[in-house]
Amino acid sequence: MPKFDYKLDNYTQIAPAAVMLGLKAAGVPSRSSWGRMIMSDAITITLMTGVVQGLKYTTNVTRPDGSNKQSFPSGHTATAFMTATMLSKEYGHISPWVSVGAYTIATATGLMRMANNKHWLSDVMVGAGFGILSTEFGYWITDAFMKGRGLNFQKLQEEEQLGRSNPSFFNLYMGFNIPLSKFDINNNTTIQTSVGTVLGVEGAYFFNQYIGIGGRSTFSNIQLIINDTETQDNTFNFDNFSIGPYFSLPLTLRWTLDTKLLATFTYYYNTIINNINIPKNTGWGIGTGLGINYHIRKHFAFGLFADHNIQPPYSIKNKEYIHTLTIGTKAAMRF
């Protein structure tokens, strides 16, 4: 997005931490005492900074704007999700909306980094994961060292509440496509799907801990390889609307495995490829996938997924179904 050039993400990355410190200074009861919280957060920051900066200077991934080779992973996004997890841990007991608000700000930070042309989607996704995991490890190390000292809310009570929670969810869905399809549009032109991005939302209502029904709505932008040549001008855009049964399998108190079987309606936008006009088209397909989720709190989970969709032909004349494999991350509000 060349016209988007704002510095708000420099501030939103630390906004959850500012809220946490403000609430603490105002005397609002938190999970930890000042000393325990400072220790947890110091360990967290050390872990996150070490991993993120180490990867930046070893992977040497060029930023989308070409400014340097420190794109992977996104430090702003890692910081935003780190501070969001800190706020959720310390004050998530007040209301689930504390966690929802914190992670919404963190997600907005990641999206702004991409809009500012500073990061690829993969940078943001991995940064978000490192931010959350660093905080979890930081608090785990502190819990192991300090035991019950300075702990205002017992972990056992939190885990009991977590264990009784329902797997119903609503999440932000972000991922990237891995090329799977190759087909001809005429005798002289062969198309192969390349890497692309997927953004959307997904949700499901569970009748019990194992079975539910839900749906997903996504927008995809996929790069195309034309006659074995990839160019930025050739992109393939489409919307997916899916509905079907969802299944969840508890592995431990905090980890769950999920899958689904969806009927998918696809809307293909009008596309021009090699001066060939391909009109918009619609059709039905099927989708499935596998995900693993870590339940940070009763009302919030973070997960990774791999989804495989079999989509209808991109045009009326073509009879070949399109296969897409999407790998990504999800931040879910549970209810």
Judge whether residue 198 has pLDDT over 90.
Answer: no
pTM exceeds 0.85, yes or no: no
The pair phi, psi for residue 47, each rounded to 5°, is -65, -50
Nearest to 17, CA basis, from 97, 88, 123, 77: 88
Domain residue spans of the chain: 9-153, 169-334
pLDDT for 265? 95
**Once rounded to an integer, what is the mean pLDDT over residues 287-309?**
86
pLDDT for 160? 45
Higher pLDDT, residue 3 or 217? 217
Place of tokens 């949700």: 203
pLDDT for 164? 52
Residues 6+ apart with CB under 8 A from 305: 175, 289, 290, 291, 292, 326, 327, 328, 329, 330
Nearest to 12, CA basis, from 103, 109, 98, 135: 109
With contact defined as beta carbons under 8 Å apart, do 113 and 122 qualify? Answer: no
Please determine, looking at this structure, whether the domain spanning 169-334 carries the CATH number 2.40.160.20: yes
pLDDT, tens digit, 9 for 90 and up, residues 31-44 = 999 999 999 999 99
The distance in angstroms from the start CA to the end CA of the chain is 35
Judge whether residue 291 has pLDDT over 70.
Answer: yes
